[in-house]
Amino acid sequence: MARRSTHHASWLHLHLAVRLSFLLLASHQLPRCSLALSANSSRSSSRGTSRVPALCCSQEAAALLQLKGSFSFPTNNCEFHTKLSSWRSGTDCCRWEGIRCGGITGRVTALDLSSSCPQACGGLHPALFNLTSLRYLNLESIDLCGSQLPESGLERLTNLRVLMLESCNLSGSIPPSFTGLHSLREIHLSHNTLNGNISNLFSAHSFPHLRVLDLSSNLFEGTFPLGITQLKNLRFLDLSSTNLSGGIPNSIGNLSLLSELYLDDNKFSGGLPWELSNLTYLAVLDCTNSSLSGQLPSLTSLIRLERISVSSNNLMGTVPATIFTLPALVELHLQVNNFSGPIEEFHNASGTLFQVDLSSNQLTGTIPTSFLELTALDSIDLGYNHFTGTLNLSSYSRLRSLTRFTASGNSLVSIVGDDRWTSGSSNSSISELAFASCGLTRLPSVIRHLPFLSWLDLSYNGIGGKIPDWIWRNMSTWLDLSHNMFTEVAQPPAYTVISYIDLSFNRLRGAVPSPSFLSASYLDYSNNEFSSMLPSDFLTLYGTAPSINLANNQLGGTIPYAECDQFHYEEKGGEALRDLDLSGNNFSGQVPPYVLRGCNNALRVLNLRGNRLEGTWPQEMDGTCRLEAVDLHGNQIRGRLPRWLANCKELNGLDVGGNNFVDSFPSWLGNLPHLRVLILRSNQFYGPVKTVRKNHSRSAYFSSLQIIDLAENGFTGVLPPGLFYSLKTMAQASTVHKVREVTMIGEQGDTDIHQEPRTPVEVAMKHQYMRMLEDQQLDLVLIDLSNNRFSGSIPRMVGNLTALHVLNLSHNAFTGEIPAELGHLSQVESLDLSWNHLTGEIPQSMASLTALEWLNLSYNDLSGSIPSGTQFSTFPSSSFQGGNRGLYGCPLPVRCNLTRPPSATKAPPPLHVPSGESADHRFQVIVLCLFVGSGFGLGFALAIVLQVVCSRRGTRKWLCRAN
């Protein structure tokens, strides 16, 4: 119930009153624990002395010691163990920590062992049920190790008023004997894994006094328990995250004393019942994300309502203007629904409404001027609707409490202010403004006069001209002007403190703006036309901003040399650089070691793709490697891969393609548990591909790989079958990690990522607050070993990689027959075995590859009939022509109806392959955005360019086109 704390003012008084009643009840005389206890009390009374509290009942002390013995404690460093350390035999149990006894009875009336001790483990020991005078039982956050509520025993606790078993790791269903606890006032069973159907568990007969029922965050099934609506004394009901379905019953209106109702995160159908208007004591209504539909019922009678949250549903209709007049309302959350139409003007505005969120609906018309009457308003979010018109921002200065105004994703004509309004005259408290994707063409000058503004988002508009100098001075937290048409930017002040700066996707030219002192956690100047940057400015940025993105500009020259100790991170109390993207520029010369290796072991993401950088990768590294993604593709870096990469346990992607590395296959990377992308293409790697050593786990060798590209190197030898045995991710489609395709909101021009890219690669490297569309997800699984000198037969184990989409073994020296097991590759869409020495017939099993979009078996020595099948009949003759003199049958152009081998004197014309054409020109580039998990820290994405064999007719756009 901690998450409800802001709405519990009325409930808190009730809760304290119930607790106080336990102390009063504890003083009531109960049957004596023993004859000796009774005699002791009589003697005390006859002497005229005051009553002395009785010692603990020995039978109950023994039961408590049994309960203590049922728990295990691997460590003593927790509160739970400290409590139980006072439980010692031969001492008065009424003085033990967590125990309260009845005044002169010696009976245990309260047991409170609530604690957080993840190492402890125990269960509900039967001895607990011998404490029959127990009124209060609290075992919250004690690990009961998945045990179930016992079928019998609980019903003996007939005096129990409060039962608190929250976060106890309970499982199983609630037993029928539970309904025997007729005295219960409070039931707390939230945050367990209880299951089963609870539709018939609760009734007024079983729980006539119940005031609090919290069953949230469990795994129940079935519909809303109708019996709950009979509990006339109920004040608090939490059924959130309980997997309930069906409709919310109309009879919920019978709970006339209910003050808090939580039904969020369920699978209800239908709408909110109109009988909710009967709950006149209701202060909190939360039905967030519960699959509700229909219209919002009238709530005007709920004069005590403080919080309404029905966000993330399918509610429709208009937003009733009367909802803004509820006299006690503090929070209103209607976002992510299908509300439509205009919001009518209203009178008698609420004087308590603090937070309003109407975002992501279909609301239209102008923004109501009645909002200006919500005098207590602190935050309003109108984003991603269809509001139109002009917004006079200076009018909102009347709302002295307003700090946050968001209206992104609307069609506002302009944002204006009073001409007489200046920084000195403004009384506005607004500190956050967001008008992204509003179709603005001019920078609203009115925002200059907001004295407390520190957070500004005007991204995805069409604003041009110059970014003024006052922007730098006014902002201190967040500045996002990305995806506009700015052409100039004023130089920032020497001392600039802005946590987040994003000027990406504009038309900014000239020198990169860089103050002499910058305090920023994220800086993105990518996708502009910056052409110069002083070495000192680069070092300033490198030494101050933990995340830097300068990708896709026109920067050139060498990267300045420095040593890590020059940046003085410790003296500044700052953080070393974690993420660096310099891709798509014209940098040349030697790459300094601090760039390739990072400083203070902080580097996580490094992208230098598409430059002309030279040098070698430092072979030594001190400390822990935290790298998660590295892209050096398309440079002139030489030498060996550093062996310390084997210690980068969080490495997800490594792309060193298109360089001059000379090395053997990096089998020592095979034990990296998260490595999903390995691209070595177009280098000078050589020798055989070796598998795991005998003293390493064979099953863990490259087990997470879903993309491996070794094309255009000098690898030789036979492919080891063990390599394909260990590619577990490729063998199971269900385990393929979704790599998300990034499409930026409002990006200028066609945003289809599958089109021919404007640059060698488009890299989106964004902070965790970046909005990303993840509607389309790619689960590409690829092996490209083409243009090497592999020999021997194709391993049959390849057929086990059933999640494979692309397999390219072309331009090698493979011999033998095509394995029939390739017919098991049910998801393969592109298969290229051309330009080898394969013999024999094409396996009939390949005719069952219904997902296959492109096939090339040309330039081999195949013979026999081409398999017949729906998919094979769609391939052109060029898929089989060239060599293959003994091959016959459709779709070859010669004697398509033959049932015997054709004459060897008439070979089909060879498929023309232009000489001297580079592989990069023969393939269309596929841009994928590899998401590097939660360990990617601030939400960075590294684009991995995969060059895949092409398809002329592919329905999947990522399959590219053959020339």
Q: How far apart are CA 73 and CA 121, in angstroms?
A: 7
Q: How many percent of the chain have pLDDT more than 70? A: 79
Q: How far apart are CA 678 and CA 727, in angstroms?
A: 13
CB-based contact 851:826 (threshold 8 Å): yes
Q: How far apart are CA 254 and CA 333, in angstroms?
A: 25
DSSP code of residue 520:
-
At 765 the pLDDT is 30
Select the more confidently predicted residue: 426 or 766.
Answer: 426
Instruction: Give me the long-range contacts of 528-532 (CB less than 8 A, separation at least 24).
Output: 528/503, 528/504, 528/552, 528/553, 529/553, 529/554, 530/554, 530/555, 531/555, 531/556
At 892 the pLDDT is 78
Q: Which helix (H) or strand (E) holds 571?
A: helix 569-572
Q: Which residue has the tokens 């002295």?
A: 400
In this model, does residue 115 exceed pLDDT 90?
no
At 83 the pLDDT is 80
Residue 707 makes CB contacts below 8 A (sequence gap 6+) with 676, 677, 678, 679, 780, 781, 782, 944, 946
Enumerate the domain spans of the chain: 54-238
The tally of CA atoms less than 13 A away on the side-chain side of residue 666 is 26
At 77 the pLDDT is 65
CB-based contact 533:553 (threshold 8 Å): no
In this model, does residue 441 exceed pLDDT 90?
yes
Helix, strand and coil in the chain, % to nearest 5: 20, 25, 55
CA R_g for the chain: 36
- Residue in 293, 335, 345 with CA at minimum distance from that of residue 317: 293
Residue-wise pLDDT for 447-498, tens only, equals 988 889 999 999 999 999 999 999 998 888 999 999 999 999 999 888 888 8
Dihedral (CA of 261, 266, 271, 273) sign: negative
Q: How far apart are CA 237 and CA 276, in angstroms?
A: 14
DSSP code of residue 33:
S
CB-based contact 945:925 (threshold 8 Å): yes
- What would the mean pLDDT of 746-770 be, rounded to a whole number? 28
Q: How far apart are CA 724 and CA 793, in angstroms?
A: 14
CB-based contact 387:364 (threshold 8 Å): yes
CB-based contact 785:809 (threshold 8 Å): yes
Structural domain 54-238, CATH architecture: Alpha-Beta Horseshoe (3.80)
Instruction: Give me the long-range contacts of 469-472 (CB less than 8 A, separation at least 24).
Output: 469/493, 472/496, 472/498, 472/515
Tell me the backbone φ, ψ of residue 831, rounded to 5 degrees.
-135, 120
CB-based contact 646:627 (threshold 8 Å): no
Lowest mean pLDDT among 240-244, 280-284, 430-434, 736-740: 736-740
Residue-wise pLDDT for 804-832, tens only, equals 999 999 999 999 999 999 999 999 999 99
At 735 the pLDDT is 58
In this model, does residue 760 exceed pLDDT 80?
no
Q: Which of 116-130, 248-262, 386-400, 447-461 has the highest mean pLDDT?
A: 248-262
Select the more confidently predicted residue: 424 or 236.
Answer: 236
In this model, does residue 573 exceed pLDDT 50?
yes
DSSP code of residue 937:
T
CB-based contact 711:784 (threshold 8 Å): yes
At 912 the pLDDT is 38
CB-based contact 873:891 (threshold 8 Å): yes
Cis status, amide bond into 891, omega within 30 of 0: yes
- Extract the tokens encoding 411: 């069609």
- What would the mean pLDDT of 857-868 be, rounded to a whole number? 93
- Residue in 276, 337, 339, 343 with CA at minimum distance from that of residue 305: 276
CB count in 10 Å sphere of residue 912: 9
Query: How many residues can be counted in the chain?
Result: 963
Lowest mean pLDDT among 410-414, 604-608, 628-632, 637-641: 410-414
Q: How far apart are CA 588 and CA 727, in angstroms?
A: 37
Q: How far apart are CA 848 and CA 842, in angstroms?
A: 12
- How does residue 697 score in pLDDT terms, banded at 50, 70 and 90? low
Q: How far apart are CA 132 and CA 159, in angstroms?
A: 7
- Residue in 863, 872, 875 with CA at minimum distance from that of residue 845: 872
At 944 the pLDDT is 40
CB-based contact 499:541 (threshold 8 Å): no
In this model, does residue 750 exceed pLDDT 90?
no
At 38 the pLDDT is 39
- Extract the tokens encoding 365: 């018309």
Residue-wise pLDDT for 300-348, tens only, equals 999 999 999 999 999 999 999 999 999 999 999 999 999 999 999 999 9
- How does residue 798 score in pLDDT terms, banded at 50, 70 and 90? very high
- Residue in 187, 180, 281 with CA at minimum distance from that of residue 228: 187
DSSP code of residue 729:
H
Q: How far apart are CA 240 and CA 218, in angstroms?
A: 9
Q: How far apart are CA 97 and CA 486, in angstroms?
A: 68
Pairing relation of β-strands 362-365 and 686-687? unpaired
- What would the mean pLDDT of 504-521 be, rounded to a whole number? 89
At 790 the pLDDT is 97
DSSP 278-328: G-TT--EEE-TTS--EEEPPP-TT-TT--EEE--SSEEEE---GGGGG-TT
Work out the mean pLDDT of the chain and round it to a whole number. 82
The tally of CA atoms less than 13 A away on the side-chain side of residue 781 is 27
**Could you give the dihedral angle defined by the CA atoms of residues 827, 830, 833 and 834, in that order, rounded to the nearest 10 degrees?**
160
**Residues forming a β-bridge with 693:** none
Q: How far apart are CA 214 and CA 262, in angstroms?
A: 9
**Residues forming a β-bridge with 465:** 486
- Extract the tokens encoding 89: 């035999």
- Extract the tokens encoding 245: 């379905």
In this model, does residue 794 exceed pLDDT 60?
yes
**Residues forming a β-bridge with 196:** 220
Residue-wise pLDDT for 20-30, tens only, equals 344 334 434 34
Q: How far apart are CA 481 and CA 434, in angstroms?
A: 11
Pairing relation of β-strands 293-295 and 605-607? unpaired
Residue 31 makes CB contacts below 8 A (sequence gap 6+) with 105
Dihedral (CA of 333, 339, 342, 345) sign: negative
At 247 the pLDDT is 96
The tally of CA atoms less than 13 A away on the side-chain side of residue 78 is 19
In this model, does residue 919 exceed pLDDT 50?
no
- What would the mean pLDDT of 142-156 be, rounded to a whole number? 89
Could you give the 3-state DSSP secondary structure of residue 336?
Answer: coil
In this model, does residue 641 exceed pLDDT 50?
yes
Q: How far apart are CA 371 and CA 107, in angstroms?
A: 60
At 9 the pLDDT is 43
- How does residue 699 score in pLDDT terms, banded at 50, 70 and 90? low
Q: Which helix (H) or strand (E) holds 579?
A: strand 579-581
- How does residue 725 score in pLDDT terms, banded at 50, 70 and 90? confident
Task: Quote the distance between the C-alpha of residue 680 and its chain's center.
Answer: 30
Residue-wise pLDDT for 182-202, tens only, equals 999 999 999 999 999 998 899
